[in-house]
Amino acid sequence: MMVWGHIKAGSFFPGFFALLLLFAIATFGCAIGERRILVSTYEKPAIVVSDTGESQLPKPYSINGIPYYPLSREQGFVQEGMASWYGNEFHGRKTACGEIYNMHEKTAAHNTLPFGTYVKVENLSAQREVIVRINDRGPFVKGRIIDLSFAAAKEIGLINPGVTRVRLVAMAKKVGTVKVGDKTKPLVEARNFGRGKFTVQVGAFQNKDNAMRLAERLKVIFDHVAITTYVLVDGTVLYRVRVSLSEDLNETDQVVKRLEYMGFSEAFIVAL
Q: Which amino acid is at 41?
A: T
pLDDT at 179: 87
Q: Which pLDDT score is estimated for 262?
A: 96
Phi, psi of 269 (to 5 degrees): -85, 140
For the chain, the domains span 78-171, 195-271
pLDDT tens string 41-72: 546 788 999 887 767 889 999 999 999 999 98
pLDDT at 54: 67
Q: Where are the alpha helices (H) located in 131-207, listed in sequence order?
A: 150-155
- The reported pLDDT for the residue numbered 8 is 36
Backbone angles phi, psi at 195, to 5 degrees: -115, 140
Ranges of residues in the chain whose predicted pLDDT is under 50? 1-36, 42
Q: What is the DSSP string of 149-168?
A: EHHHHHHTT-TTTS-EEEEE
Instruction: Report the alpha-carbon distance of residue 237 to residue 229 in Å, rounded.
Output: 7
Q: What residues have CB less than 8 Å from 85, skipping those under 6 apart?
A: 147, 148, 149, 150, 152, 153, 158, 159, 162
What's 78-171's CATH class? mainly beta
Alpha-carbon distance of 229 to 114, in angstroms, equals 22
Q: What is the pTM of this model?
A: 0.84
DSSP 100: B
pLDDT at 17: 38
- Return the CATH class of domain 195-271: alpha beta
- Please name the helix (run of DSSP H) or strand (run of DSSP E) that holds residue 203, with its range, or none: strand 195-205
In angstroms, the CA 70 to CA 34 distance is 15
